[in-house]
Amino acid sequence: MATVKNETVMKRQPATGKGRLHFLDQFRGFALLGLPFVNVLVLWLIATPETSADFWLQRVLNFFVEARFYTIFTFLFGLGFYMFLSRSGVAGGKPRLRLYIRRLAILVLIGFIHQHYQSGEALFHYAIVGLLALPLYWAPRRVNLGIGVVGFTVAAVMGVKLLTIPFLILLGLAAGQYRLHEAISKGIRWSKLRLVWLLSLLGTVIAIGAMWWAAPPEPMPPFLFLIEGESPSSTMQAALTLAHIGVATGPIVSAFYLSSLLLLGRTRLGAKILCPLQAYGRMALTNYIGQTVFLVGIQRFILNTTPTTYVVSTLVSLGIVVCQILASNLWMRWFQYGPLEWLWRCGTYWTIVPIRKKAGNL
């Protein structure tokens, strides 16, 4: 009985660095790169572009960042949903479900608090969808894939970004059921990976072309809104169409980004370039919340109600990303988890999880 009990406890412990799939950490780190450049537009008062630099920065953000990086982040949450449940349980599934529900209950709390400072935050929605979608973990993978594809298509046609979240999570869950992460870890054949890259590149070119065609020639307002009872201006209507196309084509561009990362990671130089993203991605929760702390702090204590420009917001966001990558890599030299990741694990497993690395692993 003692042996069985010890084995059970060991299976309920959180995964350490030895069992991690480092390319997933790189994917999370890459997704984090783009988030502050978009979130700052919600947190700060950004002026409509008046200079050519602001104009082209607005175009770049709409074409290559908006609805691209959040798609990756959301898909990876669904994949993590599958991986956590498939790895953390014991026979019968009860402890596994308790851990999962406790984990997402903590995320609901974190997201609820975060919403008070970042109206566009996603953690709260992730946690709610993760709880509601729990029965689908046992559904056939074809069912989850079908629901995900059809649901996302409908949401994309409607142009409702928030509505795409549950279906992107389901697509991540289906990817886990199809063992996509294991196939990538073992090494997808070069020919298949290159085919995915070429097809997603073609789709990205078409998507950007459609967005270029839809974009108005004049600068767009940072916030897109419709006034009830009034017809939108031609600029606003074009901007809404542009945003609609951006949401619909998000997964295509995201697939191009991720396949490019996999191809780059197969080269010696590329692997070195991408390596810092591992620590950045392992501290995804800490860095995601940290981005809000930095941006809100700057807005409240420095900018206040003063409008700023796309150039300033982009440079500040870039500075935040660089500082976080450096800090994350320093932190992970001595610790196994980021600060918030450690607290999240302690709450999930209801025990004090060791945070410092052992001397032999430094």
Give a yes or no: residue 3 inside a domain.
Answer: no
Percentage of the chain lying above the pLDDT 90 cut: 63
SS3 at position 46: strand
Of residues 87 and 25, which shows the higher confidence score? 25
Give the per-residue pLDDT at 139.
93
Helix residue ranges, H only, 187-229: 190-214
Give a yes or no: residue 295 inside a domain.
Answer: yes
Each residue's pLDDT tens digit, 269-286: 989 999 999 999 999 999
| pLDDT averaged over every residue in the chain | 87
What confidence category does residue 144 fall into, taking pLDDT thresholds of 50, 70 and 90? Answer: very high
Give the per-residue pLDDT at 29.
95
Give a yes or no: residue 8 inside a domain.
Answer: no
How far apart are alpha carbons 134 and 138 in whole angstroms? 8
Which residues, at least 6 apart from 45, have a Cβ–Cβ distance to it below 8 Å?
Answer: 303, 305, 306, 307, 308
Per the rule left: phi > 0, alpha: psi between -120 and 50, beta: everything else, 354 is beta
Each residue's pLDDT tens digit, 150-167: 999 999 888 788 899 999
Give a yes or no: residue 224 inside a domain.
Answer: no
For residue 326, give both structure tokens.
């450096």
Of residues 114 and 236, which shows the higher confidence score? 114
Handedness of CA 106, 107, 108, 112 (dihedral sign): positive
Q: Which residue has the tokens 């709880």?
A: 131
What confidence category does residue 19 fall into, taking pLDDT thresholds of 50, 70 and 90? Answer: low
Burial class (CB in 10 A: 0-12, 13-18, 19+), 47: middle
The secondary structure of 300-315 as a DSSP string is: IIIITT--B-HHHHHH
How far apart are alpha carbons 211 and 218 in whole angstroms? 14
Each residue's pLDDT tens digit, 284-294: 999 999 999 99
Into how many domains does the chain fold? 1
SS3 at position 321: helix
Give the per-residue pLDDT at 190.
85
Give a yes or no: residue 230 inside a domain.
Answer: no
Give a yes or no: residue 17 inside a domain.
Answer: no
Give the per-residue pLDDT at 98.
85
Which residues, at least 6 apart from 87, have a Cβ–Cβ distance to it below 8 Å?
Answer: 15
Among 9-18, 42-51, 77-86, where is mean pLDDT lowest? Answer: 9-18
When pLDDT is averaged across residues 66-76 and rounded to a whole number, the result is 92
pLDDT at 48 over 60: yes
Name the strand (E) or helix (H) holding 116.
Answer: none
pLDDT at 202 over 90: yes
How far apart are alpha carbons 79 and 72 in whole angstroms? 10
When pLDDT is averaged across residues 314-335 and rounded to a whole number, the result is 96
Give a yes or no: residue 226 inside a domain.
Answer: no
Each residue's pLDDT tens digit, 339-361: 999 999 999 989 999 999 876 55
Residue 162 Cα distances to 4, 15, 74, 89, 125, angstroms: 45, 31, 11, 31, 9
Handedness of CA 329, 330, 334, 337 (dihedral sign): negative
Q: Which amino acid is at 147?
A: I
Give a yes or no: residue 222 inside a domain.
Answer: no
Percentage of the chain lying above the pLDDT 70 cut: 89
SS3 at position 356: strand
pTM across the whole model: 0.88
Tell me if 144 sits within 8 A of 174, measured CB to CB: yes
Domain span at 151: 22-214+236-354
What confidence category does residue 7 fall into, taking pLDDT thresholds of 50, 70 and 90? Answer: very low
Q: Which amino acid is at 254?
A: S
